[in-house]
Chains A and B, each alone.
Chain A
Amino acid sequence: MRSEISLLIVFLLIFFADTFGGKKTLKGLSITACVLFALHTIWNIIPVETTSAFGGMYQTSPMASMVKTVLNIGTFIVLLQSVSWSENPDVKVRRGEFYELLLITLFGMYLMVSAGHFLLFFIGLETASLPMAALIAITKKDSESYEAGAKYLFTAVFSSALFLLGLSFLYGVSGSLYFGDIAVAISANRTPLLIATIVFVLAGMGFKLSLVPFHLWTADVYEGAPTQVTSYLSVISKGAAAFALLLVLYKVFFLDPAIWQGILWALIVLTITIGNLFAIRQKNLKRFLAFSSISQAGYIMLGIISGSAQGMTALVYYVLVYIFSNLAAFGVISSIERNSGKLSMDDYNGLYKTNPKLSVIMMLAMFSLAGIPPFAGFFSKFFIFASAIHSGFYILVLIALLNTIISLYYYLLVVKAMFINTENECVIPAFRSDNASRVSLVVCVAGIVLLGIASCVYGYFADLSMLGI
C-alpha cells in the first residue's frame, strides 16, 4: 500500500495548496507538483514484498510495484513537460485541476495493477478512465478538445459496459469475483459461456489499449486533446492497461491459455498491421503518433501472448522503453507546438538547420520506436519477440517483424523531413525551450541511449518476474 498512500498524500497536498493557497503558492504549483512527484517516485523505487490487504481484494507483488515505478517515471516526465504549458492563460486558472485529475487517474491505474478482486479492478478501471475524459477536455476554449473528451467518455463508458457484462458472465460461471477463486472454479471446463466471458473482457480492455478493431476513438482523441494529455494517454494509460490485462489473463485464465491466445493472435496481427498502414498517410504528427501507438500496443501484446514470466519481463521492459521513446517524441512536438504552433510533418522540413538539438532528439525517438540499435527500442523489441518465439509463435513474430519494415518507413519520413527535405520557405525558427521540458528531454534521451546498453535493468526485471505476480 506504500505507493498508493504516498500518491494520495501528494494528491492531497496539491489539492489543499490549490484550494487554500494564495497567489504565491499557486505560482509555484507546477514546480511543486513536479518535486513532490519526484519524491514520491524515489520513495517507492524499491519494490515492496508480496502482500495482500482487504481480504485479498488488494494484492501486490514486487513486479506490480515495479510497474508502478515505471508509470511514475513516465508521469514525472509528463509533469515536467507540462510546466510551461500550464502557464497558458487558458489552462492557468484550472492548473490545479489538471494535476489533481492526472494523479487520480494514476491512482486508478495503481488499483488496477494490484487488484486481486474484479470489483477493485473495475473501480480502478473507472477511476482511471472518467477523470481522463475531463483531462482531455481541459482546454476550455478549444472545441476540438471538448469533442475529444466527449468521444473518450462515450467509448470509455461503452467499453466498461462490455467489461461488466463479461464480469457478470464470469460470476455466473464461477460464483466468485476473487481472481484466485475464479481460476480454481473454471479450471477444467471450456464452456461457451467462459469463452464469451474472455471475449468480453478482452474487448473491454481492448478499448483501453486501442487494439484494432476497438481503436476508432484513438486518432481523434489524440489529436483533439492537449499534447500533454495525449502523451499521458498514449504511454501511461496504455502501459497500465497492458499490465492489467496481463494480470487478469495470467492470474485468472492461466489454466487454459489456448483460448485467449487464439483471440489475442488475431488481435495482434490486426492491430499491428492496421495501425501501421494508417500511420503511413498521417500528416498531423499527433495523429501520426496515435496510429504509431496503436501498432506499438500490438507489439506490447506479444509479451502477453507468450504466457510466461519471460513475456512479463519483456512487456514491462518494453513499456519502460516505450515511455522514454514516445515521451521524447511528444516532448519535441509539444515544444514546437508551443513555440510556433506547428504540428504538421511538412512544417518540420529543414528543422535540423534551425533546431539541431530538437531534431536529433526526435530522430533518436523515432529510431528507438522503430527498433534501431544501439537504442533501447531495439533491445525491447528483440526481447519481446524472443519471448513470443520461446512460446512457439513463429508465424506471429514473422508478421510482426515484417510490420516493423512498414513502421520504419513512416518513422523515417519524420527523419527525412527534418534532415533531408529543404524545400520549405517557412522553416520553424530557432527557439529555446523552457528548462523543465529540456530536463525532461534529457531524461528521455538518457533512457533511450542507456537502457539498452546497460543490461542491468532488464536483468532486474527478470529477477522480479521470477518472484511471481
Chain B
Amino acid sequence: MNFLSLFVLIPLLMMLGLWISRDMKQIRTVAVIGSTLLLALSVYTLVEFLAERAAGNTATMLFTDSRMWYAPLNIHYAVGVDGVSVAMLLLSSIIVFAGVFASWKINPLPKEFFLWFMLLSTGVFGFFISVDLFTMFMFYEVALIPMYLLIGVWGSGRKNYSAMKLTLMLMGGSALLMIGILGIYYQSGLHSMNVVEIAEHGNIPMNWQYFLFPMTFVGFGVLGAMFPFHTWSPDGHASAPTAVSMLHAGVLMKLGGYGCFRVAIYLMPQAANELAWIFLILTGISVVYGAFSACVQTDLKYINAYSSVSHCGLVLFAILMLNTTAMTGAVMQMLSHGLMTALFFALIGMIYGRTHTRDIREMGGLMQIMPFLSVGYVIAGLASLGLPGLSGFVAEMTIFVGSFEHTDTFHRVLTIVACTSIVITAVYILRVVGKLLYGAVQNEHHRELKDAEWWERLSVITLIVCVVAIGSFPHWISDLIREGVEPITNLLSQAL
C-alpha cells in the first residue's frame, strides 16, 4: 500500500478510536496521538519528496498509486503528490494538530465533536492526495457535510442560519462542479478520470472548454469565497466553534483555490487563458471589498472572516495571473493565510471563551490582562498586514511581483487596485489591535481573567513558529511550490 493512503486511514482509525473511547481523557489521547501522527506523516512526506526530487525524479506526481475502483466508468482510487499538494498536506496537518489543542475543553458532546472533526479532516487530506477527479470530488463533498453539524451543534450566534447557508451554498458550488467533472470526463476523449492523464493527453474541444471552465472554476470558487459567492463565509466563520473556524478558514477554503488550480486551469488551459479576465475582475472585487468590509465590523470573528475573503480572493487572483511567479505566490499565500487565520481564530476563540463577548467595543486593555494571547494576536496581525519576516509579506510580495510581470493596462490596473488591500488591511488590523489590546480596560470583570493554559499555548506557539519559519526562510518552500506550479504554467504558455 502506498503510504499516502495513510493520510485517509489515520483519521478513519481515529474515528474508530473515538467511537470506542469512554471519557474525555481517552478522547483527548486518541485525538492527540492521531494528529501528531498526521503531522509526522506530512513531515515524512515532505522529506521523502525532497529526497526524491534531489535524486532527479522529474515526474509530475510522485508516490503515485492507482487502483481500479469502478471499472465501467474507469474510476480509480488514485493518489500522488506534487510540490503544491505536499505543502497543502503540511498545512492541513499543522492546523488539525493545533485545532485539537484549541478544542481541548469542547463542550457539550466532545466525542461527537471530534468524530465530525476527524471526518472533516479525512475529506481534506483525501482531497489533497487524490489525482482522480471522482475521488477528489468525493473527498471534497465529504469535507463539506460535517460543517453543517459542527456549526449547528457547537456553534454560537445565528448558528442555524449560518450552518444552513454555508452548506447549501457550498453544495451549490459542488453541483456546478459535478457537471464540470462529468463534462471533462466525456469530452476529453480519453475515458479517464486521472488528472495528469487528461492534462497531458486530453483534448477537450474549445467550445466545451468555454462551458466547462466556468463551471469548474465557479464551483471551486464558491469555496474559495469568490465574489459574489462569498456570503456564506463571514456568517459561517463567525458562528463556527474555534477549531472548526480554524480548519475551515485555514484549510477548507484552500480546497477551493487548489481545485481551481488543479482542475479548472490545469485541465483547460486554453479556456483559462481566454476567460481569466472575467474571474480576475471578480476576485479583484473580493480582495478590495473583503478588506473594506472588515474595516467596519465590530465582531472579532466577522473582522477576521472578511479579512479571509480578502486574502482568499488574493489567492484566486494570483492563480488567474497564470504565470509561475504569481502562482507560486498564490500557493504561498494559501499556506500563509491558512496559518495566520487559524492563529487568529484560535486566539479569538480563546479570548471569547474568557470574556464571553466578541464585540471590540466591549473590550480593551487585554494586553495587561492576558499578555500571552495579546502578543499572539499582535503577531498574527502583523503577519496579516505583511510585515517582512513573517509569512504574509513573502506571499504577497511574490504575488504582486508576479502580477506586475503582465505589461498590459488591464492587468496593471487590477494589480494596483489589489495592492491597495495591503493598506486597508493595515487599517483594520491596527484598529483592532489598538482598541482591543491597548487602551483602558473596558470591563472591570475582565481583570480577573487568566491568561492561556498550556494546551492553548501549545496550539498558538505551533502556529506562530510556522508563520515565522515561512517568513524567515521562504526559499525552500517557494522552491518546493515552484516546481509543482511549473508543469501547469508550461501548459498555459503552450496553449496561448
B135 to chain A, nearest CB (A): 10
A342 on the B face (CB < 8 A): no
Chain A: which residue is nearest B155 at the CB level?
A420
Given A374-B142, A402-B172, A389:B183 Cβ within 8 A? yes
Chain A: which residue is nearest B172 at the CB level?
A405
Contact A455 B178 (CB under 8 A): no
Contact B138 A374 (CB under 8 A): yes
Contact A382 B186 (CB under 8 A): no
Count class of interface residues, chain A: 20 to 34
Q: Which of B164-190 contact A (CB under 8 A)?
A: 164, 167-168, 171-172, 175-176, 178-179, 182-183, 185-186
Contact B171 A386 (CB under 8 A): no
Contact A416 B72 (CB under 8 A): no
Given A374-B142, A394-B179, A415-B148, A383:B153 Cβ within 8 A? no
Contact B175 A416 (CB under 8 A): no
Contacts of B454 in A (CB 8 A): none
**Residue among B152, B178, B183 with max Cβ neighbours from chain A (10 Å):** B178
Contacts of B171 in A (CB 8 A): 404-405, 408
A119 on the B face (CB < 8 A): no
Q: Per-position contact with B for A391-410: 1 when CB-CB < 8 Å, else 0? A: 00010011001101100110
Bound-state Cα–Cα, A458 to B172, Å:
27
Chain B contact surface mostly:
helix
A373 on the B face (CB < 8 A): yes
- Report which of B72, B141, B153 forms a contact with A462, defined as CB distance below 8 A: B72
Chain A: which residue is nearest B141 at the CB level?
A373
Given A402-B172, A405-B172, A408-B167, A458:B152 Cβ within 8 A? no
- Report which of A313, A367, A398, A401 forms a contact with B72, defined as CB distance below 8 A: A313
Contact B178 A401 (CB under 8 A): yes
Bound-state Cα–Cα, A458 to B164, Å:
32
**Residue among A419, A420, A462 with max Cβ neighbours from chain B (10 Å):** A420
Bound-state Cα–Cα, A415 to B151, Å:
13
Contact B175 A401 (CB under 8 A): yes
Given A373-B141, A397-B179, A405-B171, A386:B73 Cβ within 8 A? yes
B149 on the A face (CB < 8 A): yes
Contacts of A394 in B (CB 8 A): 179, 183, 211
A270 on the B face (CB < 8 A): no
B134 to chain A, nearest CB (A): 7
**Residue among B72, B172, B186 with max Cβ neighbours from chain A (10 Å):** B72
A325 to chain B, nearest CB (A): 15
Bound-state Cα–Cα, A462 to B75, Å:
14
- Report which of A404, A458, A462 forms a contact with B175, defined as CB distance below 8 A: A404
Bound-state Cα–Cα, A382 to B73, Å:
11
Contact A398 B182 (CB under 8 A): no
B160 on the A face (CB < 8 A): yes
Given A378-B141, A458-B72, A459-B71, A415:B149 Cβ within 8 A? yes
Bound-state Cα–Cα, A390 to B74, Å:
14
Chain B: interface residue total (CB-CB under 8 A): 33
B69 on the A face (CB < 8 A): yes
Contacts of B138 in A (CB 8 A): 373-374, 378
Q: Per-position contact with A for B48-87: 1 when CB-CB < 8 Å, else 0? A: 0000000000000000000001111101000000000000
Contact A385 B153 (CB under 8 A): no
A293 on the B face (CB < 8 A): no
B297 to chain A, nearest CB (A): 26
Contacts of A419 in B (CB 8 A): 149, 152-153
Contacts of B168 in A (CB 8 A): 405, 408-409
- Report which of A313, A386, A389, A412 forms a contact with B167, defined as CB distance below 8 A: A412
Chain B: which residue is nearest A402 at the CB level?
B175
- Report which of A373, A383, A416 forms a contact with B73, defined as CB distance below 8 A: A383
Q: Per-position contact with B for A182-211: 1 when CB-CB < 8 Å, else 0? A: 000000000000000000000000000000
Q: Per-position contact with B for A76-120: 1 when CB-CB < 8 Å, else 0? A: 000000000000000000000000000000000000000000000
Chain B: which residue is nearest A374 at the CB level?
B142
Q: Per-position contact with A for B120-141: 1 when CB-CB < 8 Å, else 0? A: 0000000000000010001101
Contact B160 A416 (CB under 8 A): yes
Bound-state Cα–Cα, A207 to B72, Å:
33
Chain A: which residue is nearest B151 at the CB level?
A420
Contact B175 A386 (CB under 8 A): no
B145 on the A face (CB < 8 A): yes
Q: Which of A311-334 contact B (CB under 8 A)?
A: 313
Contacts of B71 in A (CB 8 A): 455, 459, 462
Contacts of A404 in B (CB 8 A): 171, 175
Contact A389 B164 (CB under 8 A): no
A310 on the B face (CB < 8 A): yes
A345 on the B face (CB < 8 A): no
B118 to chain A, nearest CB (A): 14
Bound-state Cα–Cα, A419 to B151, Å:
11
- Report which of B75, B142, B149 forms a contact with A373, defined as CB distance below 8 A: B142
A372 on the B face (CB < 8 A): yes
Bound-state Cα–Cα, A310 to B141, Å:
24
Bound-state Cα–Cα, A408 to B173, Å:
13
**Residue among B70, B75, B138, B160 with max Cβ neighbours from chain A (10 Å):** B70
Contact B141 A372 (CB under 8 A): yes
Contacts of A401 in B (CB 8 A): 175-176, 178-179
Contacts of A367 in B (CB 8 A): 145
Bound-state Cα–Cα, A233 to B164, Å:
32
Bound-state Cα–Cα, A382 to B185, Å:
13
Contact B160 A459 (CB under 8 A): no
Contacts of B69 in A (CB 8 A): 455
Given A458-B72, A459-B72, A382:B172 Cβ within 8 A? no
Contacts of B75 in A (CB 8 A): 455
Contact B175 A412 (CB under 8 A): no
A20 to chain B, nearest CB (A): 50
Contacts of A385 in B (CB 8 A): 178, 182
B462 to chain A, nearest CB (A): 30
A461 to chain B, nearest CB (A): 9
Contacts of B73 in A (CB 8 A): 383, 386
Q: Which of B274-310 contact A (CB under 8 A)?
A: none
Contact A390 B186 (CB under 8 A): yes
B171 to chain A, nearest CB (A): 5
Contacts of B134 in A (CB 8 A): 382
Chain B: which residue is nearest A408 at the CB level?
B171
Contact B70 A416 (CB under 8 A): no
Chain B: which residue is nearest A397 at the CB level?
B179
A430 to chain B, nearest CB (A): 17
Given A374-B142, A389-B186, A416:B152 Cβ within 8 A? yes
Contact B182 A405 (CB under 8 A): no
Q: Which of A345-379 contact B (CB under 8 A)?
A: 367, 372-374, 378
Given A373-B142, A455-B69, A458-B72, A409:B178 Cβ within 8 A? no
Contacts of A373 in B (CB 8 A): 138-139, 141-142
B184 to chain A, nearest CB (A): 11
Contacts of B172 in A (CB 8 A): 402, 405
Contacts of B178 in A (CB 8 A): 382, 385, 401
> Residues of B with Cβ closer than 8 Å to A?
69-73, 75, 134, 138-139, 141-142, 145, 148-149, 152-153, 159-160, 163-164, 167-168, 171-172, 175-176, 178-179, 182-183, 185-186, 211
> Residues of A with Cβ closer than 8 Å to B?
310, 313, 367, 372-374, 378, 382-383, 385-386, 389-390, 394, 397-398, 401-402, 404-405, 408-409, 412, 415-416, 419-420, 455, 458-459, 462
Q: What 5 A-B pairs come out closest when comparing CB atoms?
A: A401-B175, A462-B72, A420-B152, A389-B182, A373-B138
Q: A409-B168, A412-B167, A420-B152 are in contact. List 12 more A-B contacts (CB 8 A).
A: A372-B141, A373-B142, A394-B179, A402-B175, A405-B168, A412-B148, A419-B149, A420-B153, A420-B163, A455-B75, A459-B71, A462-B71
**23 pairs across A/B with beta carbons < 8 Å?**
A310-B72, A373-B139, A373-B141, A378-B138, A378-B141, A385-B178, A386-B185, A389-B179, A389-B182, A389-B186, A390-B186, A394-B179, A398-B175, A398-B179, A401-B178, A404-B175, A408-B167, A409-B164, A412-B164, A416-B152, A420-B159, A458-B72, A462-B71
